[in-house]
Structure 1
Amino acid sequence: MPDSVPGAGYVLGALVVMFVVTVALRAAPFFALSVLRDSPLVAFLGRTMPAGVMLILVMYTLRDVDATTWLPATIGLAGTVAMHLWRRNAALSTVVGTALYLVASALWG
């Protein structure tokens, strides 16, 4: 064999390192969750993240609104707000608002 081909020990060592790193990365979220379960910061983020995500989506949608795209953006935003006030479900509100925005963009955009 040429000298550029690594030996079996090298390959086995690399595989062991990859295995250990992969298992550690997959176990890390569960370890972090057990440590942070009673954290006030995690509780705060759990309460505020849905509203924060919605705010970011609204800002992203409205960032390039001009004279030709204001109607689809307004329809999508109104649909999102109405669905959220009716069902109080952030995921459903996001999906419905996005769908309304896309349909309105296809029709009037």
Structure 2
Amino acid sequence: MLTTAQALAAIAVMAGVTFLTRALPFLLFDRGDAPPKLVLYLGRVLPPAIIAMLIVYCLKGISFTSAAGWIPQTVSIAAVVALHLWKHNNLLSIFGGTLLYMFLVQTIFA
């Protein structure tokens, strides 16, 4: 259990780090100039790379020994892809796939 002083110190450190991560881009890059080419490259490349890493992490435990081990994941992935191609909305794709997966796991493949 933290004392009051420890809790306040932890909150202050977290607030400071959060503030710095939000303010640092404005301090590093002048508003008049275009961002460096490296930043533009990372902004273009990192989101798909992170999504691919999350997909690999989420599917690393898939089991093909029974239908309940792979059908809910496969159907949900197909739904996420279809929703994203249809509406181009990340939140809709993520929430739609998650809701479908939870429905399949808790009702049909329970």
**Cα distance between partner residues in 2 of 1:94 and 1:77:** 10
Deviates more, 1:92-101 or 1:41-50: 41-50
Larger CA deviation: 67-76 vs 54-63: 54-63
Match of 1:81 in 2: 81
Which residue does the alignment assign to 1:53? 50
Alignment CA distance shift 1:48-1:93 (3 Å): farther
Please name the residue that 1:71 is paired with: 71
TM-score, with structure 2 as normaliser: 0.63
Question: Is the partner of 2:52 in helix, strand or coil?
Answer: helix
Percent identity, aligned pairs only, is 29
**TM-score normalised by the chain length of structure 1:** 0.64
Amino acid at match of 2:105: S
Letter in 1 for 2:56: M
Q: Distance in 2 between matches of 1:23 and 1:59?
A: 32
Cα 1:48–1:87 change in 2 (3 A) is farther
Consecutive unaligned residues in structure 1, runs of 5 or more? 1-14
Report the CA distance between 1:69 and its aligned residue. Answer: 1.5
Which amino acid in structure 1 is aligned with residue 77 of structure 2? L
Q: Which gives a bigger RCO, structure 1 or 2 (Cα 8 Å, sep 6+)? A: 1
Deviation at 1:97, TM superposition (A): 1.3
> Structure 2: any 5+ residue segments left out of the alignment?
1-7
Counterpart residue number, 2:104: 104
RMSD: 3.0
Find the aligned partners of 2:55 and 2:15 in 1 and give their Cα distance: 38
